[in-house]
Each structure stands twice: as structure tokens, then as C-alpha cells.
Structure 1
């Protein structure tokens, strides 16, 4: 494995990372299985419910994943960045389909 150099960050990124620290500390104490269950429930319920509510449920998960990806971004290499972007793009597409498909059925 290659050692990664120190990454310099902008003042805005440093401020966001610092503001995220308390939430990350709470999340680190949360059981992993419970976090996975919450994410699965939100995505599956959002896809099944459809409409605006379903799309919002899925967008919450996409936003959470995006926030975590943003925090890790400077330390990631290109393949790792792509692996973080792919599920976020998939969640956004599912949210769009869930929101639009309900509108077409009504």
C-alpha cells in the first residue's frame, strides 16, 4: 500500500470538517447493524412508497452518503472516489424514479 501524503484543505472544508466532528463521534458509537438497517428501511420504504415522500426518504440516504464522501474526498484516490460516487448516483436515480413514477400513476 502506498502511504498517502498529508492533504491541505481550504478554510471552508476545515470548518465543515470541524463542524462534522460531533456528529461523526456520535455515529461512531452507533451500532453498525442498526445503521445498515436504518439505511435499508429508508431506501426500501422510499422505493415502495414512491412520490415525494419516498423520494425524500431516499434523498436523505443519498445526502448522508454524500456528506461522508465529502469528508473523505481529499484523502481518496480516483478509484475510491468513483466507488463513493456510484452508490450516490444510483440513489439519486432511484429517488427520481420513485418521485416521478408516482406522479405518472396518479
Structure 2
């Protein structure tokens, strides 16, 4: 029997989630803040790439936790995802 897409992604993500859980929360938060700082202060193409990295990370976490979230939690996480994607598009679009 073939596994569903969700099962395959969860199975492939399990080692990465375990590694993230092994890292102290302050370090993980510091890395996220560092990438966001690059997104805010770097010149245009690099800031867009930094926000795309944040967007991909948020999308991955949202996908993994979607079934366990309540509706308000889903809406807030989707709003963060859309906001990060919008900032990335604005930074990457030529002016």
C-alpha cells in the first residue's frame, strides 16, 4: 500500500524535527531572528531570499501541524505565511 503525500512528508521530516527539538529553543529562536534581520536590513534581492526562507519554514511547520490546530490557530499561521510571502514578493520584484 502506498503512503499518502502527508505521510511521506511527515516521515521525511521526522529526523529534522528531532534535530530541531535537540537544539535549545534560544538558539532556534536566535537563528530565526537572524534570518529575519537579514530580511529587514539586507539589500533588496538578499532580503527577499531571506523572507522566502522564512516563508518556506513557516509553510513546512504549518503543513506538519495542520491537523492538530484549531481554526483560530490555523488562521493566524496562514496570516503569518501570507505576510512573509508578500514581503518576499515585494522585495524580489523589480521596482
* Other-structure match for 1:73: 66
Q: CA deviation at 1:36?
A: 1.2
Task: Give the SS at the match of 2:30.
Answer: helix
**Matches of 1:45 and 1:93, distance apart in 2:** 16
* Other-structure match for 2:17: 24
Q: TM-score, normalised by structure 1?
A: 0.78
CA RMSD in angstroms comes to 1.5
CA deviation map 1:41-69 (0-9, x unaligned): 11121222132221111111111111011
Structure number with greater Rg is 1
Contact 1:48/1:54 (8 A) holds in 2: yes
Map 1:78-93; keep pairs closer than 5 Å. Answer: 78-93=71-86
Map 1:45-64; keep pairs closer than 5 Å. Answer: 45-64=38-57
Query: Structure 2: 5+ residue runs without aligned partners?
Result: none
Contact 1:47/1:55 (8 A) holds in 2: no
**Matches of 1:11 and 1:81, distance apart in 2:** 22
